[in-house]
């Protein structure tokens, strides 16, 4: 079974305006509440692909109830959230004609008792399971990813990490099967400005040396790279109009694991990942199978000799 871990989920309040005028009254053109959190997004895309997964993490308050209700409405009933005393956060996503602005809350405090209840879930996973951890950490559990990774390695559980770069030292030595930084996260981790393909490859290989089995690096409209222990693949971006980048990275992870578990073929998994990310970027909402298949035939992967 696939488990998607969102330790700091959210309700995303999407706002569309013609132009944001700071310090003045702004009237919205469109608003929408959507369940958010990177791991939950992975589960949603997998559901669109006909693959069951179990979202896990922490939720609380009326916002947590909203998330559970929305999951049930899309026929995801096998969630295993730890109920907390605090309230699940609300993030604000503002889009105007030229920019996307995100206001992300820190999230609630997690107590020692709540954290132990969660790690008890992780300890129940086996070598037949895959765990996908995504996103930031809430307050109270600063070393959470290290403990999760340690449990996974001990129990031979395959795990994927899609987190901010500040957490990488917590889990790289535990050998995740995939790490998915974007260019900013890669630069943050190595405390440098990474600009060229050669630099991206160099620092991606450094993550391999530190323990990652595969590194999938996205760099927005310029494309992406997949680096394995012996191969480097590059996908050029597909031409089109980007509607929103929100959720495209999560869709990339979902597309990769969907194909990887079927074929164990890096080239095919990467191709599907790129198509899934593109399908989300070019529409409102997360990618579905029809959209992904449409962009799959347009996705070209080449091997680099660097």
Which residue from 275, 196, 199 is spatially nearest to 235, judged by alpha carbons? 275
Question: What Rg do the C-alpha atoms of the chain give, in angstroms?
Answer: 19
When pLDDT is averaged across residues 37-49 and rounded to a whole number, the result is: 95
Q: Are 146 and 182 in contact (CB under 8 A)?
A: no
Identify each DSSP E strand in the chain by its residue range: 2-6, 10-16, 30-36, 53-59, 80-83, 89-95, 100-103, 130-134, 158-162, 178-179, 215-218, 224-227, 232-235, 301-303
pTM, 2 dp: 0.92
Q: What pLDDT is stored for residue 221 in this prediction?
A: 67
- β-pair type (224-227, 215-218): antiparallel
- φ, ψ for residue 191 (rounded to 5)? 55, 50
Instruction: Look at residue 223 in the predicted model and tell me its pLDDT.
Output: 86
> How do residues 193-215 score in pLDDT, each as one tens digit?
998 999 999 999 999 999 999 99
- Confidence grade of residue 303 (pLDDT, cut at 50, 70, 90): very high
pLDDT in tens, 105-116: 888 999 999 999
Three-class SS string for 163-213?
A: CCHHHHHHHHHHCCCEECCEHHHHHHHHCCCCCCHHHHHHHHHHHHHCCCC
| Cα–Cα dist 134/180, whole Å | 10
- At residue 271, the pLDDT reads 96
Task: Tell me what the mean pLDDT of segment 262-271 comes to.
Answer: 92
Q: Look at strands 10-16 and 30-36 and give their pairing.
A: antiparallel
Assess whether pLDDT exceeds 90 at residue 99.
no
Return d(Cα 227, Cα 215) in angstroms, integer: 5
Please tell me the predicted confidence (pLDDT) of residue 299: 92
Confidence of residue 240 (pLDDT cuts 50, 70, 90): confident
Residue 243 pLDDT > 80: no
Q: What is the per-residue pLDDT across 113-158, written as a single tens digit (0 to 9) for each?
A: 999 999 999 999 999 999 999 999 999 999 999 999 999 999 999 9
Domains present along the chain, CATH in parentheses: 2-303 (3.40.1190.20)
Task: For residue range 48-88, list pLDDT tens digits in order.
Answer: 999 999 999 999 999 999 999 999 999 998 999 999 999 99
88: CB partners within 8 A, 6+ apart: 9, 10, 11, 58, 59, 60, 61, 63, 64, 66, 67, 107, 108
| pLDDT over threshold 90, residue 97 | no
pLDDT of residue 100: 83
> What backbone torsions phi and psi does residue 288 show, to the nearest 5 degrees?
-115, 175
- Which strands, in side-by-side order, build the sheet including 30-36? 30-36, 10-16, 89-95, 100-103
In the predicted model, what is the mean pLDDT of residues 77-105?
91
The pLDDT value recorded for residue 292 is 94
Q: What 3-state DSSP class applies to 285?
A: coil
12, 129, 162, 250: the active-site residue: 250
Phi, psi of 34 (to 5 degrees): -130, 145
For CA atoms 74, 75, 76, 82, give the dihedral sign: positive
Q: Say whether 250 is catalytic.
A: yes
Measured CA to CA, the distance from residue 237 to residue 173 in angstroms comes to 31
């Amino acid at each position: 079974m696939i488990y998607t871990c969102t330790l700091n989920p959210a309700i995303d309040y999407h706002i569309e305006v013609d132009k944001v005028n700071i310090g003045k009254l702004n009237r919205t053109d469109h608003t929408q509440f959507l369940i958010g959190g990177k791991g939950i997004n992975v589960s949603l895309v997998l559901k669109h692909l006909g693959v069951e997964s179990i979202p896990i993490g922490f939720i609380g308050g009326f916002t947590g109830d909203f998330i559970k209700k929305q999951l049930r409405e899309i026929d995801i009933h096998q969630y295993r959230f730890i109920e907390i005393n605090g309230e699940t956060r609300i993030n604000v996503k503002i889009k105007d004609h030229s920019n996307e602005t995100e206001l992300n809350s820190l999230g609630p405090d997690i107590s020692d008792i709540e954290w132990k209840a969660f790690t008890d879930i992780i300890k129940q996973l086996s070598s037949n399971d895959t765990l996908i951890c995504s996103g930031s950490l809430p307050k109270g559990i600063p070393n959470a990813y290290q403990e999760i990774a340690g449990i996974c390695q001990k129990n031979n559980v395959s795990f994927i990490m899609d987190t901010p770069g500040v957490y990488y030292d917590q889990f790289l030595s535990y050998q995740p099967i995939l790490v998915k930084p974007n260019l900013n996260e890669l630069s943050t981790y190595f405390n440098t400005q990474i600009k060229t393909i050669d630099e991206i490859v160099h620092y991606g290989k450094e993550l391999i040396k530190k323990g990652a089995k595969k590194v999938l690096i996205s760099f927005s409209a310029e494309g992406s790279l997949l680096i394995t222990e012996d191969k480097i693949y590059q996908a050029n971006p597909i031409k089109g109009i980007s509607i929103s980048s929100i959720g495209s990275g999560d869709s990339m992870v979902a597309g990769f694991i969907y194909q990887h578990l079927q074929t164990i073929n890096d080239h095919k998994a990467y191709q599907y990942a790129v198509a899934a990310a593109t399908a989300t970027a070019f529409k409102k909402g997360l990618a579905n199978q029809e959209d992904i298949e449409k962009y799959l035939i347009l996705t070209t992967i080449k091997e680099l000799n660097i």
